[in-house]
A = this chain, B = another copy of it.
Amino acid sequence: MLSFTCDYNEGAHPLILERLVAVNLQQEPGYGADGFTASAKARIREACGCPSAEVFLLTGGTQTNSTVIATMLRDYQGVVAATTGHIAVHEAGAVEYTGHKVLTLPSRQGKMCAADLSAFLEGFYADGSFDHMVFPGMVYISFPTEYGTLYSREELSAIYAVCGQYQLPLFVDGARLGYGLTSPACDITLPELAQLCDVFTIGGTKVGALCGEAVVFPSGKAPEHFFTMVKQHGALLAKGRLTGIQFDVLFTDGLYFKIAQNAIDRAMELKALFVSKGYDLFLDSPTNQQFVLLDAAAMARLEGKVAYEVWEKRPDGRSVVRFATSWATTPEQIETLAKLL
Question: Which residues of A, 52-100, contact B by the 8 Å Cβ criterion?
Answer: 59-64, 66-67, 70-71, 74-76, 78, 89-94, 96-100
- In the assembled complex, 8 residue pairs joining A and B whose CB atoms fall closer than 8 Å, in A order, are A6-B238, A11-B20, A17-B24, A20-B20, A61-B238, A62-B232, A90-B132, A94-B232
**Quick one: given A20-B17, A234-B63, A235-B63, are A96 and B92 in contact (CB under 8 Å)?**
no
Cβ-defined contact, A100 with B93, below 8 A: yes
Q: How far is the CA of A205 from the CA of B240 in the complex (A)?
A: 11
Q: Which residues of chain B have C-beta atoms less than 8 A from A121's C-beta?
A: none
Q: How far is the CA of A2 from the CA of B1 in the complex (A)?
A: 48
Q: Which B residue sits closest to A126, measured CB to CB?
A: B313
Cβ-defined contact, B224 with A133, below 8 A: no
Cβ-defined contact, A92 with B27, below 8 A: no
**Quick one: given A71-B75, A92-B76, A92-B134, are A232 and B10 in contact (CB under 8 Å)?**
no
Q: Flag whether A12 is at the interface (Cβ < 8 A).
A: yes
Question: Which residues of A, 208-259, contact B by the 8 Å Cβ criterion?
Answer: 210-211, 224-225, 227-229, 231-239, 241-242
Cβ-defined contact, B8 with A239, below 8 A: yes
CB proximity of A108 to chain B, nearest CB, Å: 19
Secondary structure dominating the interface of A: loop
CB proximity of A248 to chain B, nearest CB, Å: 14
Q: Flag whether A9 is at the interface (Cβ < 8 A).
A: yes
Give the number of times this chain occurs in the complex, counting copies.
4
Q: How far is the CA of A235 from the CA of B66 in the complex (A)?
A: 11
Cβ-defined contact, A11 with B67, below 8 A: no
- The residue that A21 contacts in the complex, of B17, B66, B228, B234, with Cβ under 8 A, is B17
Q: How far is the CA of A8 from the CA of B242 in the complex (A)?
A: 11
Q: Which residues of chain B have C-beta atoms less than 8 A from A62's C-beta?
A: 231-232, 234, 236
Cβ-defined contact, A231 with B24, below 8 A: no
Cβ-defined contact, A231 with B132, below 8 A: yes
Q: Which residues of chain B have C-beta atoms less than 8 A from A63's C-beta?
A: 234-235
**Quick one: given A63-B235, A96-B96, A237-B60, are A27 and B9 in contact (CB under 8 Å)?**
yes
Cβ-defined contact, B237 with A131, below 8 A: no
Q: Which B residue sits closest to A313, measured CB to CB?
A: B126
Q: Flag whether A129 is at the interface (Cβ < 8 A).
A: yes
Cβ-defined contact, B231 with A234, below 8 A: no
